């Protein structure tokens, strides 16, 4: 245990109404980890992510992000968030390079990007394999390419935490594999990866730690232990048959 946990939730409960959606949630994510959050639809995964990011405040318990109260955290550039359905959203008709350039804004304020800022942008495009698409409008990309553009924006901002909410929904199987290879290599470079994923085969193939949620935490530990445990059956109930269903 160190004090440099990226995420630290202690006995968190939250409900949109009087009924809690998540409760008794205690977990820490250390720098450099690759963690997947799984659970059935409506089990509170997105809510948990928002609590971690300080977008929602716990009804009870505490949520800390980079050692600060999560809702007070304001170093946006440390955090890259790839939203659910980003691949399907109607983005503004700007180019991939313009999206990635936004990642530099927290560093330059309202000033102009310097040569080294642009180098960062180009490096980020290269890392995600999108250099050839730099001048293409985001609206003209496939779902997988769009997700890469958003990851490049996070890289350009020098984020050390990547948070992804079902990033590969609607992305074709081949691009999904390439996408996970990209996440793996970013994690190997030291970026903490926090992922909500409904595709359990992707999780078991890639994440090193699984948090299985259904209102409460049913399992939190190494992926191989998760696969051998009955947590999934307990959390998913009769829907456990979807294991390995994936795509």
One of 11, 24, 26, 42 touching ligand ADP (CB under 6 A):
42
Give dist(CA 35, CA 47) in Å, integer. Answer: 16
The yes or no reply on residue 21 touching ligand ADP (CB under 6 A) is yes
First-residue to last-residue Cα distance in the chain: 37
- What does the angle CA 94 – CA 99 – CA 101 come to, to the nearest 5 degrees? 125
**Sole binder of ligand ADP in the list 43, 147, 168, 192 (CB under 6 A):** 43
Taking the complex as a whole, the smallest distance from the CB of residue 238 to ligand ADP amounts, in Å, to: 17
Distance in angstroms (rounded) separating the CA atoms of residues 48 and 63: 10
Closest to ligand ADP by CB, 19 vs 135, is: 19
Q: CA nearest 45: which of 215, 226, 185? A: 215
How many amino acids of this chain bind ligand ADP (CB under 6 A)? 10
Assigned token pair, 229 = 């445990």
Across the chain, the runs of DSSP E, i.e. the strands, are 7-14, 22-29, 34-38, 60-65, 68-69, 79-82, 161-165, 192-196, 209-214, 216-222
Measure the CA–CA gap between 7 and 30, rounded to whole angstroms.
Answer: 7
Query: Min. distance of Cβ 36 from ligand ADP in angstroms?
Result: 13
Q: Does 46 bind ligand ADP (CB under 6 A)?
A: yes
Residue 45 in the binding site for ligand ADP (CB under 6 A): yes
Q: What is the contact mask toward ligand ADP in residues 1 to 20, using x (rule: CB under 6 A)?
A: ---------------x----
Residue whose CB is less far from ligand ADP, 6 or 21: 21
Report residue 13: phi and psi, to 5°: -130, 145
Asked if 110 interacts with ligand ADP (CB under 6 A), we say no
Q: Which of 47, 147, 157, 168 binds ligand ADP (CB under 6 A)?
A: 47
Smallest separation (angstroms) from ligand ADP to the CB of 133: 30
Contacts with ligand ADP, residue ranges (CB under 6 A): 16, 21, 39, 41-47
């Amino acid at each position: 245990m160190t004090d440099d946990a990226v995420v630290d939730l202690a006995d968190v409960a939250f409900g949109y109404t009087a009924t809690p959606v998540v409760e008794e949630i205690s977990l820490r994510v250390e720098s450099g980890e690759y963690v997947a959050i799984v659970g059935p639809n409506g089990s509170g995964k997105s809510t948990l992510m928002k609590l971690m990011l300080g977008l929602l405040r716990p009804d009870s318990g505490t949520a800390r992000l980079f050692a600060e109260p999560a809702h007070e955290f304001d170093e946006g550039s440390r955090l890259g968030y790839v939203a659910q359905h980003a691949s399907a959203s109607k983005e503004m008709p700007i180019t991939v390079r313009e999206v990635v350039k936004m990642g530099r804004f927290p560093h330059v304020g309202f000033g102009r990007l310097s040569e080294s800022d642009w180098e960062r942008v180009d490096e980020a495009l290269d890392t995600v394999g999108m250099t050839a698409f730099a001048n293409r409008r985001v609206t003209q990309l496939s779902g997988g390419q769009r997700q890469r553009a958003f990851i490049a924006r996070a890289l350009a901002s020098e984020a050390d935490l990547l948070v992804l909410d079902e990033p590969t929904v609607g992305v074709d199987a081949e691009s999904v594999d390439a996408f996970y290879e990209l996440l793996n290599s970013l994690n190997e470079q030291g970026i903490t990866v926090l992922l909500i994923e409904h595709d359990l085969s992707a999780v078991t193939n890639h994440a090193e730690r699984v948090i299985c949620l259904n209102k409460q935490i049913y399992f939190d530990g190494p992926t191989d232990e998760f696969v051998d445990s009955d947590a999934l059956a307990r959390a998913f109930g009769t829907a456990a048959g979807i294991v390995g269903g994936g795509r």
